[in-house]
Amino acid sequence: MNNFAMEWLQDWNNHDLEAIMDHYADTIVFYSPLIQKINNDPTGRIQGKENLRAYFSKGLQAYPDLAFELYHVLEGVNSVVLYYKSVGNRLSTEMMVLNEQGKVVEVRAHYKQM
């Protein structure tokens, strides 16, 4: 899981959208309070890889200085939680459920309010 986490972090810090998207399954379901803000969507939910690509693209444009700092990787059964410093120096965790191919099928993102 540490390899997954380090690759994920590097791809985000490089702002490499194609490499970022390679971590996610076509059937991804992604929940985040930032979806509510960036997409003006009260559900905070995105479903499908192409919809997620559009959201991440908006996010990379909205935060051109985006740089994550990974603090901890917590391993579970077919899942991982990444604890890191995120947008605006907010503390964040992402709980990611992985399929048999190691692709992310569900994410629950959490942010400390500042």
- Which residues, including other chains, have CB under 8 Å from residue 100's CB and lie 6 or more apart? none
Region of 63 (left: φ > 0; alpha: ψ -120 to 50; beta: rest) is beta
Q: What is the pTM of this model?
A: 0.92
Q: Work out how many domains the chain is built from and give that number.
A: 1
Q: Name the average pLDDT for the chain.
A: 94
Beta bridge partner(s), residue 97: 79, 106
Model pLDDT for residues 83-114, shown as the tens digit of each residue: 999 988 899 999 999 999 999 999 999 999 74
The CATH number of the domain where 56 resides is what?
3.10.450.50
- Which residues, including other chains, have CB under 8 Å from residue 91's CB and lie 6 or more apart? 83, 84, 85, 111, 112
Give the structural domain span for 17. Answer: 2-111
Query: Mean pLDDT throughout 37-57?
Result: 93
Cα angle 90-49-40, degrees, rounded to a multiple of 5: 50
